[in-house]
Structure 1
């Protein structure tokens, strides 16, 4: 691999040197530019100091006024209401132990959670409309179930009584050869009715 790498060295180029006259001309131009800037800065500072004297003597000084502006920027007065000036804060101004400021979303989330907790407490106490409606519905369902159970019991008793009447009629008509069959039939029917099979038949 050659000494200068893949691309090779820069040996074939012509060298250009700055003459001492050119260097002196550049230095003079630089000095003149600096003088102009200092004069413009002094004029701006004079205007600002006059403005400060005419303004109220509150003692607050803007950090922006003390900054030195260069070129045309020092001549143009900019008043942008949307521009927020970043001022340096003192350590004594910063509150470390103060309450933390929450964002709007965080505040809304906390309020929503508190409202939900209050609603659940009231709901459990039966004070909300939904809780009252639920309790009324439960009472209606309880009544319906009690009514259905009572009707079922009456129906079962009615069927058993009808069956016993039929058996007694058969015995009176002496269709049964002995009373043993009658006792067996009554025991069997009572077992079926107590086991819940009395409503089928």
Structure 2
């Protein structure tokens, strides 16, 4: 026992079933199920079997094709025909119809945000193209700035060359 005021009681009473006990329980369940099938003690299965026997020889084909109606109706739904507008009946689509409906000229419906995002991308691409061609005001300003800088660099290069020539000619004259 730990000394002190606070003790933890978790896990003290845990008991694990051995694999042999689990196997024995499984065998017992199988025997019970077998006995119920032989003696007709299972209520749900006996009702389903009797319903199948009453319907006739082609009952398995009819029950497979008619999956909308459950075998055992709950509550009043067996007595009253009710159409629930919220119930979505899953309809199987044929692959041929699915491919033709998607492939033909219908564009997928886009949300407002998606449309706006596409428009922004198109506008940005158009602006970049116009900017590269020099048609925007910002492009014109950039080109003017570049022309001024080129002119200044050319003047500086000419001045350096003139200074260099002057230095080279100075010692030659002496």
Larger Rg: 1
- Looking at both structures, which has the greater relative contact order when contacts are Cα pairs under 8 Å and sequence separation is at least 6? 1
TM-score range, shorter chain: 0.3 to 0.5
Could you tell me the TM-score, scaled by structure 1's length? 0.36
Could you tell me the TM-score, scaled by structure 2's length? 0.40
